[in-house]
């Protein structure tokens, strides 16, 4: 998913962006800052790579929420027209997160890159909360999914096989009564992708391909 600034987010990172805005609105804040970005990661829950890293550091997501909100407080009751603007620090975190993405040759900006961006920026509320809880950049780098240290692959042969099998199913209604072995093999191959977000991207690519075929 690509936003207006040209960042290509993974589905979960895009969710975090949306949740950050909702957290700002929930707290009656007329801006979206790094603190809301961190709350967005927390609100998304355990599924993201960022949350997995934090849990590996024995950091409770609820603890992050409590600590962050204690530093923020509730804003005055007000009616905002349109989405609250992003702070310059928030934008800097995204820029740093995108540098993390490009430096490792990744196509999409994920939640793990956002977490690294928060820590690299270092001065925002989110970074201060994480540091207070004992989270630092080096620890996160060490615990991030292994695909952060090498270019990400999406197992194109497996996807190609799955696309071909899917087309066969679409063209032959009778074959939908059973699942061909080649489909199962392809699905298993895609499912072997270890990184959660990379695997999700692969399945989303399959769905997008199927939608195009159905429209034809």
Query: pLDDT-based confidence at 33, cuts 50/70/90?
Result: confident
Query: Distance between CA 26 and CA 42 in Å, rounded?
Result: 14
79-121 pLDDT per residue, tens: 666 677 888 999 999 999 888 888 777 778 888 889 899 998 8
pLDDT for 155 equals 47
Confidence of residue 191 (pLDDT cuts 50, 70, 90): low
159 Cβ contact list (under 8 Å, min separation 6): 186, 190, 202, 205, 206
Alpha-carbon Rg for the chain in angstroms: 20
Domain boundaries, the chain: 11-148, 156-215
- In tens, the pLDDT along 157-182 reads 555 555 565 555 555 555 444 444 55
> What SS3 class is residue 2?
strand
- Going from the C-alpha of 39 to that of each of 16, 24, 86, 172, the distances in angstroms are 9, 9, 15, 47
Please report the pLDDT score of residue 96 as a whole number: 92
Question: What are the Cα distances from residue 106, in Å, to 88, 125, 138, 200?
Answer: 25, 27, 20, 15
Match domain 11-148 to its CATH number in 2.60.40.10, 1.10.357.10, 3.40.50.720, 1.10.1780.10: 1.10.1780.10
Mark 126-165 as b/e (b = at least 16 C-beta within 10 Å).
bbbbbeeeebebeebeebbbebbeeebeebeebbebbbeb
Q: What mean pLDDT comes out for the span 200-209?
A: 61
Burial class (CB in 10 A: 0-12, 13-18, 19+), 98: buried
Q: Is 186 exposed, middle or buried (0-12, 13-18, 19+ CB in 10 A)?
A: buried
What is the sign of the dihedral through the CA atoms of 71, 77, 78 and 83?
A: positive
């Amino acid at each position: 998913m690509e936003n207006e600034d040209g960042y290509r987010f993974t589905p979960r990172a895009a969710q975090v962006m949306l949740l950050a805005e909702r957290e700002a609105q929930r707290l009656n804040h007329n801006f979206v800052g790094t603190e809301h970005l961190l709350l967005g990661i927390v609100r998304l829950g355990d599924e993201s790579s960022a949350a997995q890293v934090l849990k590996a550091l024995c950091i409770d997501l609820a603890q992050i929420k409590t600590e962050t909100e204690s530093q923020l407080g509730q804003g005055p009751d007000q009616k905002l027209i349109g989405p609250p603007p992003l702070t310059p620090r928030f934008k800097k975190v995204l820029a740093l997160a995108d540098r993390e993405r490009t430096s490792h040759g990744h196509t999409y900006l994920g939640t793990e890159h956002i977490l690294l961006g928060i820590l690299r920026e270092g001065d925002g509320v989110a970074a201060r909360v994480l540091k207070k809880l004992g989270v630092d950049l080096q620890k996160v780098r060490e615990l991030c999914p292994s695909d952060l240290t090498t270019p990400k692959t999406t197992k194109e042969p497996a996807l190609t096989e799955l696309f071909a099998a899917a087309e066969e199913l679409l063209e032959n209604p009778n074959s939908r009564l059973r699942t061909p072995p080649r489909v199962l093999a392809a699905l298993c191959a895609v499912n072997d992708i270890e990184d959660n977000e990379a695997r999700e991207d692969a399945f989303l690519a399959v769905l997008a391909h199927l939608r195009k075929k159905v429209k034809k």
